[in-house]
Structure 1
Amino acid sequence: MRHAHVKQPLPRVGRLAGGLTLIALALPLLPAAQANDPIVIATASPTGVYHLTGQSICRLLEVRCQARPSQGSEANLRAVRAGDVPIALAQSDLQYYAVEGIEGFAGAGPDTSLRSLFSVHSEPFTLVVRRDAGIQGFDDLEQRAVNIGNPGSGQRATMMQLLAAKGWTLDDFALVNQLPAEQQSLELCHGNIDAMVYTVGHPDLSIRQAIDLCDAAIVGVEGPYVDALLEDAPYYTLAEIPAGVYSRDQPAVQTFGVRATLVASEASDPDEVYAVVSSVFENFKRFTSFHPAYSLLEPEGMIRDGLSAPLHEGALRYYRERGWIEDDDEEAEEAEEAEEAAAPES
């Protein structure tokens, strides 16, 4: 088992108790302030599904909870590692990078304190274009003006991976914008960019805005470079944006994607993590009603799919109570991880 609860001996009363009383009198507001602190969940753009997911989880909790907008997955993972937030949402690929200490996390090294709670919805990599730009697929983006996402966002990180698989760099675009999700649709409508990319669950407010206001379209992202990316990266999967999500004439769109995941630090309060996890699964039908992207979720997949970091102690406690994870499962997983760590690099 990864965590063990050790029962501490009770302190002797007397002078110790008197000393604690004096400390409590000297700091009368500290316990109350701590008790009133909300559980904070870092999300992403206020208009995206991540923020709605954080808000949805908070609606289920019986204690104070705050869904806090952020710059996105990479920024969230850094904030969790630094102890700035206890819980956050992050793309499954970025979670993997943080655990391994690669890509944008190479300088910081592997985050051995990162823990998973569960995964949420699928997030297709979505390419939205102006219809008058003549863009039929990703290949047509060469020498076009493209918004790749703000630094620290998940879509920017995924875009850079896709460019590397295709053999492109940012120099292959005529113009590169780095706007956050809530600003890119208007930039597209104003004609300042030809295309924007977004890794997000559907339907999404920002994409709907682009389609409704300036007759934008979603086009597929397919090709040998996508196949190569999927073969090399276990956190990516083929994905489909269903037909008719944004308009009657919108066809099904083939692309690839990741999963949204909820993560925490190993140091995050196990009782708070337990409260978050139990609130979602004890009110599962209500949770899945909050957004169409959650409609296909099943608990069995949520506690395994897209999770590179070990499960948090608070999450494990709940899953064991439900009988979803046995101690033997954890011991086998730990043995496999130890074996992989000990194996010589090829």
Structure 2
Amino acid sequence: IVNIGNPGSGNRGNAIDALENAGINWETDIQAEGLKASEAAKMLQDGRIDAYFYTVGHPSGSFKEATAGRRKVKFIPIENIDKLLAAHSYYAKSYIPAEYYPNAANTTDTNTYGVKATFCTSANVSDDIVYAITKEVFENLEDFKALHPAFGTLTKESMLEGLTAPIHDGAMKYYKEAGLK
């Protein structure tokens, strides 16, 4: 039994993409469960599911809970990541550092993928405000990256790849000034 996420969730879509990338049909090849991510760690430790997908930044409280129980948990590396990235521009290569989950069975980092996030705002927000926010983040990127380990591999260039929303005029003004667009 594999939890792929509740119906309609981004987590479920990401899990289906990973399974299809591996040649696994989620409807016929596995017994798929549709739990919320918040339920999965306890269900795994209770033996009611065998595995779960969860698209989340690391370190994650859910994965810490999952790896802290009596059942030994192992992160499964995602194979053929380049194929997945070619099919879906909103994904990026990533890894799960082994030191984040010392109780997991993994002793080395686990290759995986992540979802690129897009910072969105209303088109009604003034160009000046969006310009100022964009400039603040990009010109203080090292400080921004220090806010959470999931931001650690960000670069100015990578932050402009795979965008899923139109670029606000205020952000575009900064990108052009900085020579990024």
Bin for the TM-score computed over the shorter chain: 0.7 to 0.9
Alignment correspondent of 1:232:
87
SS of 2:5 mapped into structure 1: coil
Alignment partner of 2:178 out of 306, 315, 324: 324
Matches within 5 A, 1:6-85: none
CA displacement at 1:227 relative to structure 2: 5.1
Given candidates 210, 214, 218, the residue that maps to 2:75 is 218
Counterpart-to-counterpart distance in 1, 2:83 and 2:35: 28
* Residue 157 (structure 2) pairs with residue 300 (structure 1): yes
Alpha-carbon distance between aligned partners in 2 of 1:153 and 1:275, rounded to the nearest angstrom: 32
The CA deviation at 1:235 is 3.4
Q: Deviations over 1:229-284 (max 9, x none)?
A: 33333333443323322117532212333322212343444444335434433543
1:242 equivalent in alignment to 2:97: yes
- CA distance in 1 between counterparts of 2:165 and 2:94 reads 23
Q: Does 1:273 align with 2:127?
A: no
Q: 1:190 aligns with which of 46, 66, 78?
A: 46
Structure 1 spans left out of the alignment, 5+ residues: 1-144, 330-346
CA distance in 2, matches of 1:221, 1:298: 23
1:280 and 1:201, CA in 2 relative to 1: closer, same or farther beyond 3 A?
same
Q: TM-score with structure 2 length normalisation? A: 0.78
One-letter amino acid matched to 1:197: F
Counterpart of 2:121, as a letter, is A
Retained in 2: the 8 A contact 1:147–1:197?
yes
3-state SS, counterpart of residue 39 of structure 2:
helix
> How many correspondences in the alignment?
177
Q: Which has the higher strand share?
A: 1
The structure-2 alpha-carbon separation of the partners of 1:147 and 1:319, relative to structure 1 and needing over 3 Å to count, comes to: same
The Cα shift of 1:149 comes to: 1.4
Residue type at the aligned position of 2:5: G
Provide, for residues 210-235 of structure 1, a one-character-per-residue CA deviation record: whole Å limited to 9, x for no partner.
11134322121225xx5543333333
Q: State how far apart, in whole Å, the 2-side matches of 1:297 and 1:204 are.
A: 18
The change in CA–CA distance for 1:227 and 1:307 in structure 2 (over 3 A counts) is: closer
Instruction: Provide the C-alpha distance between the structure 2 equivalents of 1:163 and 1:296, rounded to a whole number of angstroms.
Output: 25
The one-letter code of the counterpart of 1:264 is: T
1:24-173 alignment to 2 at 5 Å?
145-165=1-21, 166-173=23-30
SS in 1 for 2:17: helix
Q: Secondary structure at the match of 2:100?
A: coil
| Cα offset, 1:156, TM superposition | 1.0
CA deviations 1:63-117 (Å, max 9, x no partner) are xxxxxxxxxxxxxxxxxxxxxxxxxxxxxxxxxxxxxxxxxxxxxxxxxxxxxxx
Separation of aligned partners in 1, 2:131 and 2:9: 27
8 Å Cα contact 1:316-1:325 kept in structure 2 = no
Identity between Structure 1 and Structure 2 (%)? 38
TM-score by length of 1: 0.45
Structure with bigger gyration radius: 1
Distance 1:278 1:153, change over 3 A: farther
Task: Provide the aligned C-alpha RMSD in A.
Answer: 2.8
Q: Distance in 2 between matches of 1:227 and 1:180?
A: 28
